[in-house]
């Protein structure tokens, strides 16, 4: 099915996260190789399905079809339903920084979950607070758990921790 033609606003949405990190020469080469691999007709353009495959190939966080369509729409200046290589670099710079951010979040979770239960408990928080030399009261630690504990089981699962960290990093 051909992409819907939309009136282009002339603006490109540039996620704030991509303004900071710069790509290494090796990453730029990898992006060019991935773009060329999925630019099947050599037109220096990529549609939504090609973008999704390139993103998977590069190991970025998984996106739904709706998210991919939204990305294309944000960068598609001429309403063709496609992006060019420059757009691809901007998009992937953001996605690669998200990937690095997720690794940082998982590392932080494992530091709290020192008993490898897959959950952060009050006991875990007390231990970390003590190791860091913090003088936090139990009520403060319980409030921290309550903030992240969306299913109200008194513990913070990995998913709950990730969701909280993603919210606070925006």
Q: Is residue 4 part of a domain?
A: no
Q: Is residue 160 part of a domain?
A: yes
Do 84 and 22 belong together in one domain? yes
End residue of a domain, out of 97, 123, 153: 97
Give the count of domains, the chain.
2
- pLDDT, position 168: 62
Cα separation, 28 vs 5, in Å, equals 31
Q: Is residue 62 part of a domain?
A: yes
Q: Is residue 10 part of a domain?
A: no
Cα separation, 148 vs 144, in Å, equals 7
pLDDT in tens, 7-53: 444 444 444 343 345 778 888 888 898 898 888 888 999 999 889 88
Do 40 and 86 belong together in one domain? yes
Do 22 and 77 belong together in one domain? yes
Per the model's pLDDT, the better-predicted residue between 8 and 110 turns out to be 110
pLDDT in tens, 58-79: 777 678 889 999 999 999 888 9
CA atoms within 13 A on the CB side of 165: 17
The region of weakest confidence among 2-16, 50-64, 84-98, 153-167 is 2-16
Do 92 and 29 belong together in one domain? yes
End residue of a domain, out of 97, 123, 143: 97
- pLDDT, position 11: 42
End residue of a domain, out of 43, 63, 97: 97
CATH at 119: 1.10.238.10
Domain range for 77:
18-97
Cα separation, 5 vs 61, in Å, equals 28
Do 93 and 120 belong together in one domain? no
């Amino acid at each position: 099915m051909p992409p819907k033609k939309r009136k282009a606003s002339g603006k490109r949405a540039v996620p704030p996260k991509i303004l900071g990190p710069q790509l290494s020469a090796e990453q730029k080469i990898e992006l060019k190789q991935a773009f060329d691999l999925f630019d099947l007709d050599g037109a220096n353009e990529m549609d939504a399905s090609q973008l999704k495959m390139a993103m998977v190939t590069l190991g970025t966080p998984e996106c739904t079809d709706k998210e991919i369509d939204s990305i294309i729409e944000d960068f598609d200046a001429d309403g063709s339903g496609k992006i060019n290589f420059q757009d691809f670099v901007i998009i992937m710079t953001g996605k690669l920084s998200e990937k690095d951010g997720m690794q940082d979040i998982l590392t932080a979770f494992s530091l709290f979950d020192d008993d490898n239960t897959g959950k952060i408990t009050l006991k875990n928080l007390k231990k970390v607070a003590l190791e860091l030399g913090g003088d936090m009261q139990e009520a403060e630690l319980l409030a921290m758990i309550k903030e992240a504990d969306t299913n109200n089981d008194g513990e913070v699962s990995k998913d709950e921790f990730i969701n909280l960290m993603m919210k606070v990093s925006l």
